[in-house]
Amino acid sequence: MKIICIGRNYAEHAKELNNPVPAKPVVFMKPASALLVNEKPFYYPDFTNDLHHEIEIVLKIAKNGRHVQPEFASSYYEEIGLGIDFTARDLQQECKEKGQPWEIAKAFDGSAVLGKFVPVDRVNRQAIEFRLLKNGEAVQHGNTKDLLFSFEQIIVYVSRFFKLQQGDLIYTGTPAGVGPVLVGDVLEGELFLKDRVEKLLQCEVK
Ligand code: ZN
């Protein structure tokens, strides 16, 4: 199982970190050991002083495929969920300045928080809304109509390089509003279904 992540996939978020809007998807990966599931707490790591939350819609890959063609891409996921791409922003900045890979800033243990999944037919596929609450207050509110690269475009693009395998996860990028978390914070991810808002994710920072 692998975790594929897309960076800078919402223009407003690229802007808030002074990054250019990319012409092609920005792709990186996390190892399976980065996963944090079952609402387990996240322990603030000692190597950063600026840990940021990034709420993202996560696709669960339903079948194996390479070089997926655009007309078939939507059949490669049947369930979506929410995840947090925890980022050590200070380390990432250092890596970016030195032109180095940023795994230590983004792929560390527990950096891929993963909540529950729902069947994709329970959301409005054209405009999926989601948000992150920090201590009960909404800090990020995204809508997939603002994606620079759609889920289907992501699947087509990444499957040119990496064979998609059933059970792989794709973190599809974070909307604007990323910010620091502190010990004691409680993060909750909510997805807007057709008929109601459902909490899919909770994570306490310890
Ligand atoms: Zn991210």
pLDDT in tens, the chain (206 residues): 999 999 999 999 888 888 888 899 999 999 999 999 999 999 999 999 999 999 999 999 999 999 999 999 999 999 999 999 999 999 999 999 999 999 999 999 999 999 999 999 999 999 999 999 999 999 999 999 999 999 999 999 999 999 999 999 999 999 999 999 999 999 999 999 999 999 999 999 99
| Annotated domain spans of the chain | 3-37+49-204
Report how far ligand 1's centroid is from the alpha carbon of 5 (Å). Answer: 7
pLDDT value of position 20: 87
Report how far ligand 1's centroid is from the alpha carbon of 103 (Å). Answer: 12
Report how far ligand 1's centroid is from the alpha carbon of 26 (Å). Answer: 10
Report how far ligand 1's centroid is from the alpha carbon of 69 (Å). Answer: 25
pLDDT value of position 14: 83
Q: What are phi and psi of 96, to 5 degrees?
A: -65, -45
Report how far ligand 1's centroid is from the alpha carbon of 72 (Å). Answer: 25
Report how far ligand 1's centroid is from the alpha carbon of 201 (Å). Answer: 16
Report how far ligand 1's centroid is from the alpha carbon of 171 (Å). Answer: 7
Task: Provide DSSP, 37-73.
Answer: -TT--BPPPTT-S-EEE-EEEEEEE-S-BSS--GGGG
Report how far ligand 1's centroid is from the alpha carbon of 9 (Å). Answer: 9
What gap in Å lies between CA 142 and CA 57, rounded to an integer? 9
Report how far ligand 1's centroid is from the alpha carbon of 119 (Å). Answer: 22
Report how far ligand 1's centroid is from the alpha carbon of 84 (Å). Answer: 8
pLDDT value of position 179: 97
Global confidence as pTM: 0.97
pLDDT value of position 18: 87
Looking up tokens 């693009």 gives 157
Report how far ligand 1's centroid is from the alpha carbon of 63 (Å). Answer: 24
Report how far ligand 1's centroid is from the alpha carbon of 189 (Å). Answer: 14
How many other CB atoms are found less than 10 A from the CB of residue 37? 12
Helix (H, G, I), strand (E, B) or coil at 167: coil
CATH topology of domain 3-37+49-204: Fumarylacetoacetate hydrolase; domain 2 (3.90.850)
Report how far ligand 1's centroid is from the alpha carbon of 13 (Å). Answer: 10
Report how far ligand 1's centroid is from the alpha carbon of 181 (Å). Answer: 15
